[in-house]
Copies of this chain bind each other. A is one copy, B any other.
Amino acid sequence: MYDHAGLEVLERAECLSLLATQPVGRIVFTHRALPAVEPVNYLLDGEQIVVRTRPGSKLAAATRNSVVAFQVDDIDPDRHNGWSVTVVGRASRVEDPAELHRLAALPLRPWAPAPHDNFIRIAIELVNGRRIVAGPDIPVSHLPR
């Protein structure tokens, strides 16, 4: 299935599989009433995205029980193809000690030098995925009328 732009619409299951393949995504939130976006490394843990943040950071504060978007892509700029998956869901700080213990054992280590001891989870609610296929493979005839 293709959308009006001619991009292939990906199903939820494929989107989740793709999310599991990348180490870095971008979390989209609101900071001081302005749109904000930060790249973070993450793990897909079932149907939630897990990221680590620094206590007291802008990201930690802005994602406390708010609805955020999380976007991951893998795009080849030379071939003009690739895919992008965006999820929307409620972000919350993990407080439960048992859950914190479990998450701390996951292979998710902060890349930035400062300690990132907060765990934020994003419960995946809406999922939206597109694949772009450029060049002679473009199925223009499949565009919606």
A114 — which chain B residues lie within 8 A by C-beta?
Answer: 4-6, 140, 143
Cα distance, A91 to B30, chains bound together (Å): 17
A9-17, A67-75, A92-100 - the one binding chain B: A67-75
Docked Cα-Cα span, A75 to B72, in Å, equals 13
Query: Are A37 and B34 in contact (CB-based, < 8 A)?
Result: no
Q: In the complex, what residues of B have CB within 8 A of residue A73's CB?
A: 26, 39
CA separation between A30 and B36, bound complex, in Å? 11
Contacts of A57 in B (CB 8 A): 4-5
| Interface residue A108 (Cβ < 8 Å from any Cβ of B) | no
Q: A residues within 8 Å of B by Cβ?
A: 4-7, 22-24, 26, 28-30, 34-39, 41, 54, 56-57, 67-69, 71, 73, 75, 77, 80, 84, 86, 88, 111-114, 116, 126, 132, 134, 138-140, 143
A44 to chain B, nearest CB (A): 15
From known contacts A4-B54, A37-B69, A57-B5, infer whether A111 and B134 are also in contact, taking CB-CB under 8 Å.
yes
In contact, B29 and A37 (Cβ under 8 angstroms): no
A86 with B6, Cβ < 8 A, contacts A26-B71, A113-B138, A143-B114 known:
no
Q: A111-B134, A113-B138 are in contact. Are A35 and B24 (CB under 8 A)?
A: no
Docked complex Cα distance between A132 and B134 (Å): 32
Cα distance A67–B18 in the bound complex, in angstroms: 30
Pairs of residues from A and B, 10 with the lowest C-beta to C-beta distance, nearest first: A6-B113, A35-B69, A113-B138, A5-B112, A80-B111, A6-B114, A37-B71, A23-B77, A28-B35, A5-B114
